[in-house]
Amino acid sequence: MKNIILTLAFCFLSVSFNLAQTPTPTPISVEDEDVVKISTTLIQIDATVTDKNGKIIRDLKPEDFEVYENGERQDITNFSFVAAGSEPVQTPVVPKRTEKNSVPVPPVSLRPEQVRRTIALVVDDLGLSFESVYQVRRALRKFVDEQMQPNDLVAIIRTGGGAGALQQFTSNRQQLYAAIEAVKWNSLGRGGIGAFAPLEATPLEQSKAAGNNVSEEDLEEEQKQLKGFNDFREDIFSVGTLGAINFIVKGMGDLPGRKSIMLFSDGFAICSPDNPDRCARIVDSVRQLTDLSNRAAVSIYTFDARGLLTTGLTAADNTSDVSAERVQNLNSSRSAEIFDKQDGLAYLAEETGGRTFFNSNDINRGLDKALEDQNGYYLIGYQPDGETFDAKTRRFNRLEIKVARKGANVRYRSGFFGITDDQIKKTPNQTATQQIHTALTSPFAASGVALRLNTLFGNDKEQGSFVRSLLHVNAKDLKFTDEADGGKKAVFDVLAMSFGENGAPVDQIAKTYTMNVKGDAYEKLINDGFVYYFTLPVKKPGAYQYRVAIRDNASGRLGSANQFIEVPNLKKNYLTVSGIVLENLTAAQWQKLAAAPENKQPNQTDPMSDTSRRRFARGSILRYGYEIYNARLDAAQKPNLSAQLKVFRDGKPILEGKNVPLELADQTDRQRFKATGALSLGSEMQAGEYVLQIIITDNLAKRKRQIAAQFVQFEIQ
């Protein structure tokens, strides 16, 4: 286990820096009041109030509000305004994706108390046309580039892409870009190529045009059957869309910050006069979603991705053999379709306290307005009466909130079922398997067992590309029992999984381990912890999430960690940098190494533990190694590479080294060049999280493919 993972030969290209002390920005937190409560003693709901320009109104008093439950006015007993965005947030400088050779700023991992907004960008690929998908992808890229804030926890989820919801939430822009790339037109959904199905002759119309005897009654019956089939298909996919949103809302229930869903869809119709059952099914689905959104404090904003539409004939329509009546009614039928589908989106947003954005080709302008809604809201509480929670009827309690101020618009969730939060939460105790799965899928790490995960990409001449994960486990958090032979024993379960597009599971390892140790080995284990490493196969290049959770059998404590990684396609021959391996040395060890550079391991260091744990002391030396793939070679079969070192804290660069020539030792493998460097961790450095970034420039490559970068996070104690 002590063999260094990428078998890097350190050639001691040392670059020493002393990092100056930098101020720590104050994290932005949202108060615990951001919880809607439904109990037998208190109904507490949130309401957003805006003026005619869409700006939040912040100075209302309890007497400005009237609250009605099932038509009966309630006495307000609790009242407060929560300014979720009261503190300014500085947006880091992020290079535009269109800039050549731009190097992304390494992401900052958010802690729960730092999250200000939790936003699910839900792409309804069950209902988007081919044309709409293009508009949505463009809007999503602009959101990540320009509208996303440092304290936002964001997910991009497809309604037709499976149930991977929780593990999608991240503050990592590169992970979100990868999710955007996975947004594609779903040919099996209810959306066609364009906003409308192209006009074309039906089989009977074609038969009649060919001279066959087809009556008007036959044509009417055919139209009725086609409409019935289309309504049924629309119904199935509409309920599927609502079901996917329902799952996402459930997953957001325990997440921090002001929570919202931004739904991009071509819409869905709720009711049709000749199909009352369909109306009942969708209304019931929306009602259940409303109740769930209320309890989870999630607002849903809906966007008609079709933009501003024309209802007349287009190049896609074919009027040959189509009856004159159908051509004449085309405008009115398409107009009715627009309004019907927008009504569904409007109804969903209105019932869940959100807003709708229609008839605009600028989706991001609507996103600006929706995000502004997250900056403040009122919490209003009242005491329910006995009928609110009538167990016999479990009826849906309708809510209505009125504001006395002229020109004010109030948005709120329309109601809730007559059942308390405590009754819903009275679920059976989770099994050990359920507990470890819950820890694995959460966007935040479980801390019962302290874990540090580092996932590395590399490439081997024989085996090709691989991903290995190194997990440092704090053995102090495991409960050891005494054995008859004087030894100590701990038993723990490990679940490791990789997730691909939209959170879909790719591979997993599930094992139970028994650890037996004695004497000095036990003391060393408790003091230093241990490293568990595993390899999950990479079937194809792409974006992956690697997650691992541990459950201690004796104490039931849980620990989890996760990391996002993009596996490149080396067959494209683009310059690429492997994962970064770390080694920590004291000043004395560094001096000893400098005196005997030919000795690869002159010190009792543990690169495997250092690479996984990534926790170092001030005044020590951080040594790093990596591999470079697909470097161009000159006529003498030698590369011409240069390297730049950057160090970040809280997303801001605190050190930017010069771009210096990279002197490499003579290596036989001309496709994989090993390189190293060293960084002096100054004694004045503040404790906290840092990011080390290596930027490699290939001076022989074309300008568009000259640069590759890799980063690793580490902590100063």
Report the C-alpha gap between 543 and 463 in whole angstroms. Answer: 20
Q: Provide the token pair at 18.
A: 């002393």
Distances (CA, A) of 592 to 199, 601, 605, 677: 81, 10, 12, 16
DSSP codes, 264-318: EES-----BTTBHHHHHHHHHHHHHHHHHHHHHTEEEEEEETT-S---S--TT--
Contact 378, 37 (CB under 8 A): no
Using DSSP's 3-state secondary structure scheme, residue 242 falls into helix
Angle at 137 between CA 134 and CA 142, to 5 degrees: 125
Report the C-alpha gap between 405 and 643 in whole angstroms. Answer: 62
Q: Is 321 exposed, middle or buried (0-12, 13-18, 19+ CB in 10 A)?
A: middle
Q: Provide the token pair at 244.
A: 């996917």
- In which band, very low, low, confident or very high, does the pLDDT at 684 lie, cut at 50, 70 and 90? confident
End-to-end CA distance of the chain: 25
Average pLDDT of the chain to the nearest whole number: 79
- In which band, very low, low, confident or very high, does the pLDDT at 601 lie, cut at 50, 70 and 90? low
The highest-confidence range among 181-195, 248-262, 667-681, by mean pLDDT, is 667-681
Contacts 24+ apart (CB under 8 A), 210-219: 219/323
pTM over 0.85: no
DSSP codes, 428-455: PPPPHHHHHHHHHH-SS--BSS-EEEEE
- What are 88-122's pLDDT values in tens digits? 443 433 444 444 446 767 766 777 778 888 899 98
| Overall CATH class of domain 115-365 | alpha beta
Name the packing angle between helices 363-372 and 130-142 (round to 10°). Answer: 50
Report which residue type is found at 2. Answer: K
- For position 233, what pLDDT does the model report? 52
- What are 17-65's pLDDT values in tens digits? 333 333 222 222 334 444 567 888 888 888 899 998 888 999 999 999 9
Worst-scoring range by mean pLDDT, 92-101, 160-169, 293-302, 333-342? 92-101
Max Cα distance, the chain (Å): 101
Report which residue type is found at 359. Answer: N
Report the C-alpha gap between 692 and 188 in whole angstroms. Answer: 44
- For the chain, domain boundaries: 40-83+378-419, 115-365, 432-716
Contacts of 545 (CB under 8 A, 6+ apart): 167, 175, 498, 499, 503, 562, 563, 564, 565
- What are 343-400's pLDDT values in tens digits? 888 888 888 888 899 888 899 999 998 888 888 889 899 998 877 877 666 578 889 9
Report which residue type is found at 216. Answer: E
- What are 420-478's pLDDT values in tens digits? 766 666 555 778 888 888 888 776 677 899 999 999 998 888 878 888 899 999 999 99
